[in-house]
A and B are shown apart, each in its own frame.
Chain A
Amino acid sequence: SKTQPHRRGEYNVYSTFQSHEPEFDYLKSLEIEEKINKIKWLPQQNAAYFLLSTNDKTVKLWKISERDKRPEGYNLKDEDGRFRDPSTITTLRVPVLQPMDLMVEATARRVFSNAHTYHINSISVNSDLQTFISTDDLRVNLWNLEITDRSFNIVDIKPANMEELTEVITSAEFHPQQCHTFAYTSSKGCIRLCDMRQAALCDKHCKYFEEPEDPSTRSFFSEIISSISDVKFSHNGRYLMTRDYLTVKVWDLQMENKPLETYQVHDYLRGKLCSLYENDCIFDKFECVWNGSDSVIMTGSYNNFFRMFDRNTKRDVTLEASRENSKPRAILKPRKVCVGGKRRKDEISVDSLDFSKKILHTTWHPHENIIAVAATNNLYIFQDKVN
């Protein structure tokens, strides 16, 4: 909605709550971190908001509700909450709702635990709004949102002999409209589309998307950089997008042998793969996101840069999320990384990039042109210029 505060470009924290606590698994002598890996909103069905949040092992369903009124004028209780002696009550009154300061309450409604041996890397809510999947390195489990003591394993790529393990699942997502279809991606850069109606265990994919490797760019790092870190269906359900280390690819669900479009996020890193392997940056998992109309895609990079690609005009832009470069309501200036010898004045050279400043998480409002970008400890919210 286009209310004034919405357009001012300043945001306050709405609510903060602790989703997970660190746990100690006594059987395995392992500490399970409370760090949240993924959050997914459920579509709103009533006044409250619901979201799923997950750490490495446990998914939780949270209800977030607002309270801005409270009842006053009880007969049997004082305003302090102390009980009144009934014998002192001489009149009766009807309690009325009085406004109060907005209070946001978060309550854990469900806890889905003990279903994952390995680390959960994604969760996805089904379009039926009754089920969701949680995915770890080797398995995908299907849950009913109401039932916490049972989940169904629908994909299991664990080999009989763990010594033969060469591929893991990296992410999974439900199709936005077809409640029986989901996709999962692997560390080898392939995407499998599965139909849950075919069998209880979706071992056989019904579609398999993989781009053949380009032999001219082959290196020891080829496999690592082909590992897919995120998958997102387009809103219209016709495409899916994958992010690997250097590129974002858009796939047509009808064409399995190669992507429809490939966008270079930071190809200048191709010559630095060895260093990026050494400092582990090559294992960074970036997310990607569609805009509401599926015409623009966005993903993060290093040095607090993030990139947007317009699929129609084929134009792309690099922007930076940092305090120094953006004052409220200032327009973001496009950035450029220089790869050749000559560096122009406002360009930055590859060697000056700060690899500790990585934008792994970005998201786009489903209807508006408002984006949220997470830069280490800061959240940036940007919106379209208001004319």
Chain B
Amino acid sequence: MFPKGTKRKFSDSGEDPVCSGVQGPSASSAAARTLSSSYSLQRQSLLDMSLIKLQLCHMLVEPNLCRSVLIANTVRQIQEEMTQDGTWQIMTQALAAAQCPADRLVATEVLCRQTDAAAQAGQSPKPFSVSDLEEGYHSEEVVMDGDVETEVTMSSLSPVSPQLSSASYLAGPFGVAPCWEEEEEEGDCEEDEEEDSEECVSEGEEGEQDHLRADSRTGEQVFGTFEIKHPAPPPDPALEELFSDVDPSYYDLDTVLTGMQSTPKMGPYDLLESLSSHGPTALSSTSSCRSDLNELDHIMEIIVGS
């Protein structure tokens, strides 16, 4: 396997990072500088994979709760680590930069859903993307609960037409919105950081500098642009605080499972429609998700890379 000295998060030493073909350096190009790029890529692809799994498993009418919880916990771990080493902010900046052709970008709602939004949407809560049905958004909302005043709703922009082509989620940078609470796992995260090679530590600092250098407004822009419900964008330094206050707004499984899904059979197909421009297809749409991701990566590369 591996020599004892190296502490890797992924133990697939001889294997290509899974889904690496899907997720190019694109949005994480900045982040890649902060950590060994292979680790960062692997972590990113794991995040993407997990998000796909969560989405797909919620297309089943009755999701396997155990599996969902385990995948969700994995996503949270990744997100926490990314927040710790500053990759998260870099990602959001990259997203902001690529924000302009905004109709192409969709934030992923994985586990965050605001029940108010659902109520407003007038739709019965679906496991995954409430905003799917919300006024023709074909986006997946990432909503952070918590303080109502500082509510931020990230979704595709209002002017987006219902036919959001290739409205696949931008799995990478936005992965799971930072709506997980940063809990006691700080200890673990610190440990993880220590375990990273020295190279990573120094690069981490560099990354942070990048972050600080970046206009704090960019962060505002990100959320400001995304914010539909509340006009005042939160200040950037407070963003992390904002995130830490937020409840991990896990979709209301109980609601789903106890029958608040009034249109379950149609729901998954609607979601699929939002994921790929191919219209309703069979439930196993991993390949269409991937092709959409490829397409999106391509776009991101053009936007961010240039």
How far apart sit A224 and B46, CA to CA, in the bound complex (Å)?
Answer: 14
* Given A30-B264, A227-B66: A271 in contact with B14 (beta carbons within 8 A): yes
* Given A163-B248, A216-B4: A28 in contact with B70 (beta carbons within 8 A): no
Q: Report if B257 contacts A (CB, 8 A).
A: yes
Residues on the A chain within 8 Å of B253, using CB = 162, 165
* Given A28-B257, A165-B253, A271-B1: A283 in contact with B10 (beta carbons within 8 A): no
Number of residues from A at the complex interface, CB < 8 A: 43
Q: Report if A1 contacts B (CB, 8 A).
A: no
Neighbour of A158 across the interface among B4, B249, B254, CB < 8 A: B254
Q: Report if A4 contacts B (CB, 8 A).
A: no
Chain B positions 86 through 129: 1 when the CB is less than 8 Å from some CB of chain A, otherwise 0: 00000000000000000000000001000000000000000000
Q: Are A219 and B8 in contact (CB under 8 A)?
A: yes
How far apart sit A27 and B249, CA to CA, in the bound complex (Å)?
Answer: 25
Q: Report if B83 contacts A (CB, 8 A).
A: no
Q: Report if A167 contacts B (CB, 8 A).
A: yes
Q: Are A274 and B10 in contact (CB under 8 A)?
A: yes
How far apart sit A168 and B67, CA to CA, in the bound complex (Å)?
Answer: 10
Q: Report if B74 contacts A (CB, 8 A).
A: yes
The B219-271 residues at the A interface (CB cut-off 8 A) are 247-255, 257-259, 261-262, 264-265
Neighbour of B15 across the interface among A138, A224, A275, CB < 8 A: A275
CB distance from A34 to the nearest CB of B (A): 14
The A38-66 residues at the B interface (CB cut-off 8 A) are 56
Q: Report if B304 contacts A (CB, 8 A).
A: no
Of A29, A216, A227, most buried by chain B (CB within 10 Å of CB) is A29
CB distance from B212 to the nearest CB of A (A): 28
Q: Report if B7 contacts A (CB, 8 A).
A: yes
Q: Report if B13 contacts A (CB, 8 A).
A: yes
Q: Report if A346 contacts B (CB, 8 A).
A: no
Q: Are B69 and A163 in contact (CB under 8 A)?
A: no
Residues on the B chain within 8 Å of A166, using CB = 69, 72-73
Of B7, B65, B249, B252, most buried by chain A (CB within 10 Å of CB) is B65
| CB nearest neighbor in B for A283 | B67
The A303-319 residues at the B interface (CB cut-off 8 A) are none
How far apart sit A250 and B17, CA to CA, in the bound complex (Å)?
Answer: 35
Neighbour of B254 across the interface among A31, A162, A271, A280, CB < 8 A: A162
CB distance from A26 to the nearest CB of B (A): 9
Chain A positions 173 through 191: 1 when the CB is less than 8 Å from some CB of chain B, otherwise 0: 0000000000000010000
* Given A168-B66, A272-B15: A118 in contact with B257 (beta carbons within 8 A): yes
How far apart sit A270 and B2, CA to CA, in the bound complex (Å)?
Answer: 11
Q: Interface SS of chain B: helix, strand, loop or mixed?
A: loop
Q: Report if B49 contacts A (CB, 8 A).
A: yes
Q: Are A30 and B15 in contact (CB under 8 A)?
A: no
The A51-108 residues at the B interface (CB cut-off 8 A) are 56
How far apart sit A167 and B73, CA to CA, in the bound complex (Å)?
Answer: 9
Q: Report if A278 contacts B (CB, 8 A).
A: yes
Q: Report if B11 contacts A (CB, 8 A).
A: yes
Residues on the B chain within 8 Å of A271, using CB = 1-2, 11-14
Residues on the B chain within 8 Å of A121, using CB = 66
* Given A161-B247, A220-B9: A274 in contact with B257 (beta carbons within 8 A): no
How far apart sit A175 and B252, CA to CA, in the bound complex (Å)?
Answer: 34
The A142-199 residues at the B interface (CB cut-off 8 A) are 158, 161-168, 170, 187
Neighbour of B73 across the interface among A31, A223, A278, A280, CB < 8 A: A223
Residues on the A chain within 8 Å of B303, using CB = none
Q: Report if B191 contacts A (CB, 8 A).
A: yes
Q: Report if A221 contacts B (CB, 8 A).
A: yes
Residues on the A chain within 8 Å of B247, using CB = 161, 163-164
Q: Report if B61 contacts A (CB, 8 A).
A: yes
Q: Report if A22 contacts B (CB, 8 A).
A: no
Q: Report if A235 contacts B (CB, 8 A).
A: no
Q: Are A163 and B19 in contact (CB under 8 A)?
A: no
Query: What are 17 A-B pairs at a CB distance below 8 A?
Result: A29-B261, A30-B61, A30-B264, A31-B61, A118-B257, A137-B65, A162-B253, A162-B254, A163-B247, A163-B248, A163-B250, A164-B248, A168-B65, A170-B66, A187-B70, A223-B73, A274-B12
Instruction: Spell out A's residues near B (CB within 8 Å).
Output: 25, 27-31, 56, 117-119, 121, 137-138, 158, 161-168, 170, 187, 215-216, 218-221, 223-224, 227, 270-275, 277-278, 280, 283
A28-B261, A162-B250 given. 18 additional CB < 8 A pairs?
Answer: A27-B259, A28-B264, A118-B65, A163-B249, A164-B248, A166-B69, A168-B66, A187-B69, A216-B4, A218-B191, A220-B74, A220-B77, A223-B73, A271-B2, A271-B14, A275-B18, A277-B18, A280-B67
Instruction: Spell out B's residues near A (CB within 8 Å).
Output: 1-2, 4, 7-15, 17-19, 42-43, 46, 49, 53, 61-62, 64-67, 69-70, 72-74, 77-78, 111, 145, 188, 191-192, 247-255, 257-259, 261-262, 264-265
